Amino acid sequence: MSENNDTERANLQKTKNSPEDVENPVKKTPKRRRRLSGRKGITISGLWPKIAIAAIVLCLILAGVSISMVNKKETAPVIQNVSISDIAQTSAIINWQTNAPATSEITVCRSDNCTLLKLDKSMVINHSATLTDLEPGTRYQLNLVAGNEQNKEARFTLELVTPRVAATPVNIPPEIGHGVGEIAPDFTLPTIDGQQESLSQFRGKNVMLNFWQSSCPACDAETPLIQAVFDEWSGDKLKILAVSVEERDIFVRTFLNTRGLTFPTLLDSDGNVSKIYGSPAFPTTFFINSEGIIKGIKTGHFTSQTEIENMLKSL
């Protein structure tokens, strides 16, 4: 047993002391790999800022592409600044704009039908349409359409009501009365010479109808003025009728003769005609035009011939 153990120890010793070890008794250290000159070590912590910057740049690039795609996206034009002008019974003008060049058309609809009007086939911004052959007093619906080069359309709807035809004025004759604008009431009275005269027989002439009394001082003061107008104005254009109210013919005749008055005088002995004219104070003068309408009334006496003539000229 001891011999076997000695043999194993000897073999083990030989193994440890190989010829290489014997020749180079100095123990060699293991060789390390050399790093190539010029290469630096890169750590993970140093990469994060660069990755973040690259990501931001990439986002900006993608955002620019997205904006460019949105700008290139086909959108419809916008109809704006719509107005209607020169509205008449049978016509009107419609004006509008688009935010970009576009064609335009308009559909005019009423209760029973619609009419399509194709206007500009060229691309423009300012649009206008003159509508004709409309019906007076009618409500229309106007449908505006604008199209761009990408065949995208915008629509706008508004209403138009044309004016009604003005009713033909009816000439209502004035009523009979003793006020301005009314038809002077007709009457028939005897003249100082015993003749009968009616107001209506002087239709076509201007009439100066004067109510007076010989006992009235104001009447007496204006009689020379009336006489002067009678002498100067043509009988073809003017008829003066001086109506003496509730007086006897003898007193009236005496009054006229003593003053040399020759203008036509009528006798309203019972005062009935005076009452028809509202029982005016004395003197009162009605100015009646050729159509028999009272155009002016003068209460009180005239102060000049010119005052009378100005009234006559206004008829």
User: What domains appear along the chain, each with residue ranges and CATH number?
Assistant: 79-161 (2.60.40.10), 188-313 (3.40.30.10)
Task: List, in sequence order, every residue forming a beta bridge with 153; answer none if it has no partner.
Answer: 147
113: tokens are 């039908």
Q: Residue 133 pLDDT more than 50?
A: yes
Residue 177 makes CB contacts below 8 A (sequence gap 6+) with: 183, 185, 294
Q: Which residue has the tokens 């028999």?
A: 292
> In a 3-state reduction of DSSP, which class is residue 65?
helix
Tokens of 108: 């005019």
pLDDT at 202: 95
The secondary structure of residue 165, as a DSSP letter, is P
Supply 281's token pair.
Answer: 């104070």
User: What's the whole-number average pLDDT of the chain?
Assistant: 83
Q: Pick from 239, 155, 238: which is nearest to 191 by CA?
A: 239
**Does residue 119 have a pLDDT over 50?**
yes
Q: Using an 8 Å Cβ cutoff, are 214 and 192 in contact?
A: no
Between 223 and 115, whose confidence is greater?
Answer: 223
- Distances from the Cα of 146 to the Cα of 76, 127, 142, 293, angstroms: 8, 9, 13, 63
Instruction: Inform me whether the pLDDT recorded for 47 exceeds 80.
Output: no
**Listed range (2-16, 67-81, 86-100) with the worst mean pLDDT:** 2-16
* For residue 267, pLDDT beyond 90: yes
Residue type for 85, please?
S
Positive/negative CA dihedral, 25, 26, 32, 35:
negative
Q: Where are the beta strands (DSSP E) in 148-221?
A: 153-161, 188-190, 196-198, 206-212
- Would you place residue 19 in the very low, low, confident or very high pLDDT band (cuts 50, 70, 90)? very low
Is this prediction's pTM over 0.85? Answer: no
Which stretch of 32-41, 100-109, 175-184, 247-256 has the lowest confidence by average pLDDT?
A: 32-41
Greater confidence (269 vs 149) lies with 269
Question: Whole-angstrom Cα distance, residue 249 to residue 255?
Answer: 10
Contacts of 4 (CB under 8 A, 6+ apart): none
pLDDT at 116: 86
